[in-house]
Amino acid sequence: MTALRPERKTDASYGDQSYEASGALGDGDGDRYGEAYGGPYGPYDYDERHEEPFRPARDDETMALRIPDAPLGPESEPIRASAASAASSATGPTVGGRAARRKAAKRRGGRHGGGREATTAETPPEDAGSGRPLSRVEARRQARLRKASPAVIASRVIGEAFITTGVLMLLFVTYQLWWTNIRAQAQAGSETHQLQNDWASGKRNPGVFAPGQGFAILHIPKLDVVAPIAEGVSTEKVLNKGMVGHYGEAPLKTAMPDAKTGNFGLAAHRNTHGEPFRYINKLKPGDAIVVEEQDTYFVYKVTSTLPMTSPGNTGVLSPVPPGSGFTEPGRYITLTTCTPEFTSKYRLVVWGKMVEERPRAKGKPDALIE
């Protein structure tokens, strides 16, 4: 030691005192030491004085390395070294001095762990094969590879266009097959009730009717059809409203039911827009068709059917239609509609002959009561 120290307070001065007197070389106590350690120092009992290994005092501020205490398991047994090291590195406190703890805190994203997400977000991409961080050039190259090519973009656009077209077509079919029926049936029902109310109040009298104006009600008991009959066969004014149209305009002008002779020609939709004639192909000879006017019921019986004919075959509306089985003028009825279903390529024709003219004052005919 080179540090200064105070002088010892003895009777003799520091330089005059002998080594024997100062006890530097030992005295009676020295004999005791010699006896304890054995030989020149006396015997030494290692097991009695050192039962446990020497452990330096833990000092959190020291820079010296130290081995952490082994954590205890569920049954107070030390956990294996590998498990203890893994647990301490994952969740436990950082082993080492202040500098080591600071480094560990920086790796975790700050002293309090607040920048952990930012550190993760700023980590450069790694190569999947080697695990090493990518350079800027490699990262840009991979970014360009991840971008969709023009062909891929075009295929996506085309696919989206097909999907949109399919959705629009589905909506159109739903509109045609479902919504048009609901709307047309509501309009036809309203017109039927209006006709009945006008007849009851005497507002409508037989005569000449304007196109689109209702004047009668058609009953087909077998098919449970009740639909208003309007003048003309206009698609927008009559047929699309769920009504049955009367061929009352040239060049396809036909007779009215109250005429002495003639063919009362009618047309209606078979599909969509109320579809009042959808099942007229099921009518058989002898089935009743009733036309109700303000003062009279006209009862017809089905005589024959033409399953398919050209739309240009206007002869089916003649006073004595060919192919109907009629051979002389009479009071006939003709129903026409499109066929096959959901197409307008051909026409389906049903003919009937009047069998009864019954005044309203006598009540409903038997065909409507049954």
Active site residues: 269, 338
Q: Dihedral sign for Cα 167, 172, 177, 182, please.
A: positive
Burial (0-12, 13-18, 19+ Cβ within 10 Å), 370: exposed
Q: Are 171 and 180 in contact (CB under 8 A)?
A: no
DSSP 3-state of 198: helix
Q: Which helix (DSSP H) or strand (DSSP E) does residue 99 occupy?
A: helix 98-107
Query: What is the C-alpha separation between 71 and 77, in angstroms, rounded?
Result: 8
Could you tell me the two tokens for 289?
Answer: 């068709």
Comparing C-alpha atoms, which of 216, 178, 167 is closest to residue 196?
216
Torsion of CA 26, 27, 31, 33, to 10 degrees: -40
Query: What is the C-alpha separation between 77 and 220, in angstroms, rounded?
Result: 96
Burial (0-12, 13-18, 19+ Cβ within 10 Å), 316: buried
Q: Which helix (DSSP H) or strand (DSSP E) does residue 353 occupy?
A: strand 346-359
25 CA to centre of own chain = 100
Q: Dihedral sign for Cα 180, 186, 187, 188, please.
A: positive
CA angle centred on 86, ends 85 and 89, rounded to 5° = 80
Could you tell me the two tokens for 208?
Answer: 């000449």
Could you tell me the two tokens for 199?
Answer: 């007849």
CA distances from residue 279 to 222, 243, 268, 335 in whole angstroms, order as listed:
10, 15, 11, 12
DSSP 3-state of 296: strand
